């Protein structure tokens, strides 16, 4: 049973926006999944931060964000997590998709929920990605 991480966050990112799914585990019991949809901009990241706070997410080792490597589109979220001390695992999209097995249905919200479930199932094996080097993200202001 997972005892360290209490919040599991899956984020599906595209160029204009990102979808987020959040699952809390309280006293070893999974809670319902909360979802959100935000613009992939500085203002969207600010709203995302407020959403996390409103849902009681701790910005420390008790949380885990899982996101697929999307080239440059995930860098704003990566920068946010780095600055807030929120552990983030940026995974290989093919590896994550293979872990689901045969999966029906596809949209951004469903993908974020699958990433959230992946974070929960694989939390003990996933390693946090190092903080983003600020040189790589010139537009990462929020």
- pLDDT confidence of residue 1: 43
Whole-angstrom Cα distance, residue 52 to residue 130?
21
- SS3 percent helix, strand, coil of the chain, rounded to 5, is 35, 25, 40
Instruction: Say whether pLDDT at 36 is over 70.
Output: yes
Of the candidates 36, 112, 45, 35, the one whose C-alpha atom is nearest the C-alpha of residue 75 is: 45
Locate 117 and state its tokens: 């479930």
Whole-angstrom Cα distance, residue 115 to residue 36?
14
pLDDT tens digits for range 61-78: 899 999 999 888 999 999
Average pLDDT, the chain: 88
- Please name each of the domains of the chain with its CATH number: 7-134 (3.30.420.40)
Instruction: Count Cα neighbours of 121 within 13 Å in the Cβ-side half-sphere.
Output: 9
pTM of the predicted protein model: 0.86
| More confident position, 11 or 103 | 11
Q: How confident is the model at residue 133 (pLDDT cuts 50, 70, 90)?
A: confident
């Amino acid at each position: 049973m997972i005892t360290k991480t209490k919040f599991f966050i899956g984020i599906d990112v595209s160029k204009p926006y990102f979808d987020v799914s959040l699952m809390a585990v309280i006293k070893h019991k999974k809670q319902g999944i909360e979802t959100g949809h935000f613009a992939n901009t500085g203002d969207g990241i600010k709203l995302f931060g407020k959403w996390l706070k409103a849902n009681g997410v701790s910005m420390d080792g008790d949380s885990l964000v899982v996101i697929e490597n999307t080239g440059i589109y995930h860098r704003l979220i990566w920068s946010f997590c780095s600055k807030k001390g929120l552990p983030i695992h940026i995974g290989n999209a093919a590896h994550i998709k293979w872990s689901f097995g045969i999966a029906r249905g596809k949209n951004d919200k469903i993908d974020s929920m699958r990433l959230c479930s992946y974070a929960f199932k694989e939390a003990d094996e996933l390693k946090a990605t190092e903080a983003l080097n600020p040189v790589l993200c010139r537009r990462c202001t929020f």
